[in-house]
Amino acid sequence: TRLHTAFVRQCLMTLSLVLGLMMTGAFVPAAASECPALLNHKFNRLQDDSPQNLCQYSGKVVLVVNTASYCGFTSQYEGLEKLYASYKDKGLVVLGFPSNDFSQEPGNNKEIADFCYNTYGVKFPMFAKTSVKGKEANALFADLVKAGGSAPRWNFYKYLVGRDGRVLESYSSMTSPDDRDLVRRIPGDEVAPQPDRVTPEASPVGVDRAHPRNEHDERGRVDGTDPAHPPALAAGVLAD
C-alpha cells in the first residue's frame, strides 16, 4: 500500500511539472524532429520575460513582424490584432518582435507591452525587445533572411511562414495586414516555391507582389509616414 501511494504521488508530481512547463511555453510535447528548423528558437515573452519555445507554433501559419511604437506604421498594430482575431481559429498566429533598429522603439519591455495593450488591445504573442537586422539580428530573423526573405528595411516588415515551416512570402512595411494577397495565403497550404522552380506567375520569396519594393516608399518621408496615405496615429503615439 505504501509503495502504491508513493508511486501515485510521484506520478502526480510529474504530471503537475509537465503541465506547468506547458503553460509557460517552455515545454513542447512534440518531438524536436517535428519542429521546423525555422521555429526551433526560444525567446522571452514581452510581458513577463517568460521563456517561450516557438516550436509551440508548429503546424500553424505564422506571420512574423518587427514592430515599433513611434513609427508612421504603428497603427498597423490594430490591423494585425484584427487579422489574428479573425484567423487564429484557422491556424494563424502573429508574432511581434519590438525593435529599436530604426530608432523608433526606445521604451523598455514593460512600456512597450503597456502601450500595445492599452492603445491597440494587442493579444497576439509579443516578445522581448530585440534586434532584427544586421550582425545583431536575433536567430529567427537571421534564419528568415537565410530562407530567402530579405532583412527588414523598416518597421512592420512581415514574413509569412507556412505550416511546413517554410517562408511563403515577405511583405514590405507598406503592405497592410488586410492586404488581399497576404490574407488569401493564410490557410497556409501552399508549399514554398523552390529557387529553381519559381514560375513566371509566382513572385520569388521576398517580393511583395502588391507593392514592389522601393526603399523610399517603405520608409516614406523622413518621419516614416507614407507620403500618399499618412496613417493617423492613436493618441499617445509621437510623430517620428
Which three three-digit cell numbers place residue 71?
Answer: 513609427
Judged on CB neighbours under 10 Å (0-12, 13-18, 19+), 151 is middle
Instruction: Please state at what angle helix 109-120 crosses helix 76-87, rounded to 10 degrees.
Output: 70
Q: Is 35 a catalytic residue?
A: no
Calculate ∠ Cα 230-231-234, nearest 5°.
Answer: 140
Active-site residue, from 35, 55, 71, 116 = 71
Judged on CB neighbours under 10 Å (0-12, 13-18, 19+), 8 is exposed
Question: Which residues are the active-site residues?
Answer: 71
